[in-house]
Amino acid sequence: MDFIEVYPNAIPDDLCERLIACFEQHKGVTDGRTGHGVDLEKKISRDLTLDSFADLQGIRNELLTYTLKFSTEYFNQYSLALMGAVSVQVADKKAKVSR
């Protein structure tokens, strides 16, 4: 199971074009980050975090309006995917970490 789904026409063409324009023009575009910062051996990309900029909140909210339905469908189908970000660790008395 690869957990990859495609939702054709999930967002209107006009919104897609405006998102691309934001990405191409916004001063907030940065090198892509992993959980440990920028690591070009693991990820070579450019990112724009819509949540980080007040001027992008309108287009962010519009995007969320369209994608919420598909996110809900996805997590209904792959409910265990919600656990992917959870990594429980326990330390014993000697501070040895177990997973």
Please report, rounded to a whole number, the percentage of residues in the chain having pLDDT higher than 70.
Answer: 87
Least confident of 8-12, 31-35, 71-75: 31-35
Does the predicted model carry a pTM greater than 0.85?
no
Q: What is the pLDDT of residues 41-58, one digit of tens each?
A: 777 888 999 999 999 999
- Residue 49 belongs to some domain of the structure: yes
Residue 32 has pLDDT above 90, yes or no: no
Q: Which domain holds residue 43?
A: 13-80
- Residue 26 belongs to some domain of the structure: yes
Please report, rounded to a whole number, the percentage of residues in the chain having pLDDT higher than 90.
Answer: 53
> How much is the mean pLDDT over the chain?
86
> Per the structure, how many domains does the chain have?
1
Give the span between the Cα atoms of 10 and 13, in whole angstroms: 9
- Residue 42 belongs to some domain of the structure: yes
- Residue 59 belongs to some domain of the structure: yes
What mean pLDDT is predicted for residues 65-90? 82
